Structure formats: structure tokens, C-alpha cells
Structure 1
């Protein structure tokens, strides 16, 4: 396999606390000798699992970036058993520009896996994760929101992987985030996702969708930060008492899924989007859930989007200005009990 052009002075095998950078060669029009610099840190002590923490895969998704930066500053070496690798802003060009896609190569980093060491900047980063950091890791945590385009009910989510032992590990870590809803999703927008690559290597993968948009409430920040710490305790790399929904006085996590293409409802016309429901609302089949208004024809009645089936609104359009083909609503449904049973160690398989 071709070696990655990414370099770092971080010694991933060394104990202790290290803070450094990943350097990605990048020649642009003002300089032939230049590089992109991605901050990275490791905190390692003794024998235990390795957890890779990442946010900023998309640059316009902020709570995870802040949560990892806080964690980097706050973690004490004495609290760690194993190794934590922290990358607060994985897609540094997009994070600086507050964009979903990298302004360097116009690519979606989350669609670039397994990557290419001779490709664009995004493909080089993806290849480094695939060939260097994922193999080092037992647990991969990739923190997201809906960005500017989509507003999610804050949730942890995962794929329904085939391997039952891996599925149980992932479900346990997902529930450790202590979100009201836990979400099973499908990949309707193409291949090359970071979580899929990590899953294919057998890793315990945890991802989140913590709201979206430019405004992040204190409650979402708290959930992002407290949940992340609790997951680290759950997987055994951070000391402390794991908090459960029960210990917090909360109802059990509700598992929901959107695994059918019909659960993803797109705008048939361009206009101004009005949400008629809130994320987290339960809706009935045929219920109006959104409306598209037309600024050039204010006398025209809006197009009403109706729920194709009963379910819970897990996400809806973020910006009001909407183009034909934009996602309007994602409708999720309760996960069947026989599937939930596979999340438990007591399941016989």
C-alpha cells in the first residue's frame, strides 16, 4: 500500500500527552512549498482501548468541534486507561471557511473513503484515516450536526451492521450518549462514508447529529460534551461512573430508524420552506408537515408536504430558502423489537 504523504511528529506508540499537527502537502497559486496543518493530540497511559475522536468532518458543524477542544484541554493523564486520539477539526479548510465541502478541492470529505494517497487533499486525509488511524483504534467517534442544510433532533446514531458482536458494542456506545432518540440511518446519498470504512475494519463506531445551523443552544452543547465523556467512560478509556438514562431520571432511549428511501422527503419545487412540525414530533400519515411558498407568486397557494406514513420527524430543512431537490423532512419510525433485541448481550444470535 502506498505510504501517506501526511506527516506528524506525534508518536502514537508513546505514553503521555502530546499535542501536534498532521501536515498535508498542498501546493497553491502563491506558494509551491505549503502545507495544510490539522491539529491532533494523543493522551495515553497504560493498557486499554484506543479511541479516535473526530469532529469537523464538515466545517459548518460546530458542537462536536467545541466538545473535543474542551476535552483536549480538560482531560488529565491520570484519568486515562488506554489511549485517546483527538482531532477537533478534521477538515481544517472547511472548518475555517464554515462550509460543508472543502474549499480546497470542492469535495465532501465524508464521501472520500477509503481515500487516495495521490489524490486531492480530502482524499489524502481519508486515506490517512483508513490506513493509519483506523487500524490503531478500537473505537471511532465521528461527531456531526446537520450543518447549515438540515436541522436534526439531537441524537446519537449508527448503522445496522451485520456483525452482531460489533452491533452490540455500537448500540451500547450509542446509548451511552444518553440522547432521547437513537437513530438508525441508511446511506441514500452515495458511498465513501467515514463510518462505513471504520465499520468495515470492525471498529465500534459512534456518530451524532447534534442539531444544525449557525445557532447552537446551551442544551445541545451540554448534551454533546456530557455525552462524549460518558461514551469514553462506557468504552473503558476514561475513569468515572457511567451515567444511564435511569440514573439521570430519564425515560429509556427510543430507537428509531429511517432505512427506506421513502423516509427521505425532498422538495419538488424551489421556494421558501415553512416547517409545520418540530423535530421530535410524532406525526400521522397524511399530516401536513411542511409548506413551500413562492416569492414570485405570493398569490399562489403553497405546496404542502404531507407525511407519507406515521412516524417521528428526526430532521427537517434548515434554511428557509429551498431549492428543488433539497431534503425537506426525514421521517423515522420505531425500530422493531426483534431488532432492538440484537443490541443486547442476552441475544442468542
Structure 2
């Protein structure tokens, strides 16, 4: 691939704490020399792992953006053993517009990897991460929520990668977030995901789905921030004592999976969706999970969305207004003991 046109004001080889920007050529309106400015900070101190910490991959997912901005201000050089590169808002135009996709080119950053240095704005950003930042990192952390479209029971999640050493490190990182659930998920909505590109480069990848929707409660912000800091302590990057579920007086993390396409239930028609079961609840096969109502035919009985098997409702539709093909439910299952042994 050609060299990235993005310029960083950060010197990645320099020790200490730096604040800067990634400058992306971006001609719009009347200005031919405009740039999109992506905030970035780095703290480096001696030997240790390099952690690339990011949020705002989708613009309408804010807890991670806030958690990283807090860390950027709070961490100092003396607390660090290694290097942390922090990008709180990868998709700046989408964050400003409260949208999942970039309003500049309509692209989903999380479907654009490995990217293109001469492509659209979003593709150029993906290419820079792929070729410049992922190769420098030992660990890649990409913080998500379900955005405005999906509400998740807050969880750390990961792919079931083939390399067992990589899988074990990723699982330990997921458990360090201290969420009630750790979730193994499948890619059902296309290719080009950020985690997949980082995994293919052999990186330890840690990701989350911390709720979703327009409202973020104080406990959810607290989980986002405390869990992230605990992961950095677990990695040996930040000094401190690792907190475990046991030390917090909590039950062990419950590992669940949704690896079959049947576990993802989509709306058969357009209508108004009524959730009948809260996320995080165990359900039985045949149990009603939601009802799809039809405002143009209020005399018509709603379509009932049922569980196809026993499981755990890990996520459901966020907005009430629903179009045909929108995700309604993700039904997860307990991870088998054989898989757990590989952790």
C-alpha cells in the first residue's frame, strides 16, 4: 500500500507525555487546504508493553470516549511502565453528529479495514491504524457500546481466535474489565472490522459493548472508567493493584457466546418494537422476547419474537421504531467447558 497521508504531531519514539493531533487531509466547502484533526496523546516511560487505546470508532458510542479523555488528563509519566497511545475519538465527524456512520462519506469505520490511503476519509483513517499504529502496539483496546441502535447488557467481548496463546491473553484482558458477562461473538454484518485486522497482526485485542442508547447512567460511566483502568493495571502498563471480581465481592464473570447466525434475530417487518425481556435475563426456548406492532394496522395483532432456544438475552433493539431487517435480539449461550479450558 502507499504511505498514509495522515501526519501525526506526536513523536512515537519520544519518552514522556505528549498531546497532539492526527491531521487528515480533508477538503470541503471553500477550503482546499483543510484538515480533520483527530485528538491523540501518548505517555511513554521506559520498558513495557505498548497499548493502543481507542474509542469513538462509531460516533454515537460515548462512554469510552469520555473514559479515555479522563485517562489522558489523569495519567502521568511516573504511573506508566511502557507506552500508551490514546485516541478518544477515532471518528470525529460521526461523534459530533451523534451518528454511527461518518457523515462525510457515509462509511462505517468498523467495516473499512485494512483501509485505503487514497480512499475516502474513513478509509484513510483505517489505513493509518492498520499500517502505522497497529504494528507498534502489543495490545489494541477498542471501546464500544451498542450506540443508538442496540442496547447490550454491559460486557467485555472478543472473537474466538485460533491462536491459543493470543486467545488466552485476550480472555484474561476481557475478564480484567470485571463485567458480569464476557461475550464471544460472531461477525454477521460484513467484513473489515478493526478487531479482526488487529487480531490478524497477532495483537491482543480487548473490546467492550457497554450498554447503548441515548442515555448513559452514572454506574455505566463508572464501569467504563474503572474497568478500563483495571485492564491497564492487569497489562502491567499502569501501576496499581489488580481488582478481581472476587476482591470486589462479585460472582465470577460468566462466559457466554453467540457464534451461530441463528442467535441474531432480525425484524421480519417494519413496525414499533416492544421489548418483553430485559437484557441479561435467562430465557427458555419459545419464550416471547418482544412484540412488533404495526401503527398503520392497529387492529392487527403484533408479531411475537420468540427465543429459538434456551439462552441469555445479551442485547436487544434500542429504538422503538424498527425497519425490516433491523436487529431485534441477540441470544447468547453459556460457553462450553472445552472452550473455557483454552482460556
- Alignment TM-score > 0.5, same fold: yes
| Alignment partner of 1:251 is 2:236 | no
1:299 aligns to what?
299
2:234 aligns to what?
234
**In the TM superposition, what whole-angstrom CA distance separates every residue of 1:103-155 from its partner, at most 9, and x where no partner exists?**
01100000000000010011100000000000010000000000000000000
1:136 aligns to what?
136
2:313 aligns to what?
313
Aligned-residue offset at 1:29: 2.9
Give the whole-Å Cα distance in 1 for the aligned partners of 2:112 and 2:230: 30
Structure 1 residue runs of 5 or longer lacking an equivalent are 344-349
Aligned-residue offset at 1:62: 0.5
Local SS of the residue matching 1:256: strand
2:263 aligns to what?
263
1:346 aligns to what?
none
Residues 139-178 of structure 1: pairs in structure 2 closer than 5 A: 139-178=139-178
User: Superposition RMSD on alpha carbons, in Å?
Assistant: 0.5
**TM-score where L is the length of structure 2:** 0.99
Give the whole-Å Cα distance in 1 for the aligned partners of 2:104 and 2:69: 24
2:39 aligns to what?
39
1:59 aligns to what?
59
Aligned-residue offset at 1:296: 1.2
Give the whole-Å Cα distance in 2 for the aligned partners of 1:29 and 1:84: 36
2:333 aligns to what?
333
2:288 aligns to what?
288
Q: Which runs of 4+ in 1 moved over 6 A?
A: none
| Alignment partner of 1:21 is 2:28 | no
Give the whole-Å Cα distance in 1 for the aligned partners of 2:109 and 2:287: 36
Local SS of the residue matching 2:143: strand
Structure 2 residue runs of 5 or longer lacking an equivalent are none
Give the whole-Å Cα distance in 2 for the aligned partners of 1:183 and 1:30: 47
**In the TM superposition, what whole-angstrom CA distance separates every residue of 1:301-320 from its partner, at most 9, and x where no partner exists?**
11000000000000000000
**TM-score where L is the length of structure 1:** 0.98
Local SS of the residue matching 1:144: coil
**In the TM superposition, what whole-angstrom CA distance separates every residue of 1:203-253 from its partner, at most 9, and x where no partner exists?**
000000000011001111011000000000011100000000111111110
Aligned-residue offset at 1:300: 1.1
Give the whole-Å Cα distance in 2 for the aligned partners of 1:218 and 1:8: 34
Give the whole-Å Cα distance in 1 for the aligned partners of 2:67 and 2:29: 35
Aligned-residue offset at 1:298: 1.2
Give the whole-Å Cα distance in 2 for the aligned partners of 1:84 and 1:213: 29
1:323 aligns to what?
323
Give the whole-Å Cα distance in 2 for the aligned partners of 1:10 and 1:306: 52
Aligned-residue offset at 1:257: 0.4
Give the whole-Å Cα distance in 2 for the aligned partners of 1:111 and 1:14: 32
Aligned-residue offset at 1:97: 0.7
1:117 aligns to what?
117
Give the whole-Å Cα distance in 2 for the aligned partners of 1:26 and 1:268: 40
Local SS of the residue matching 2:54: strand
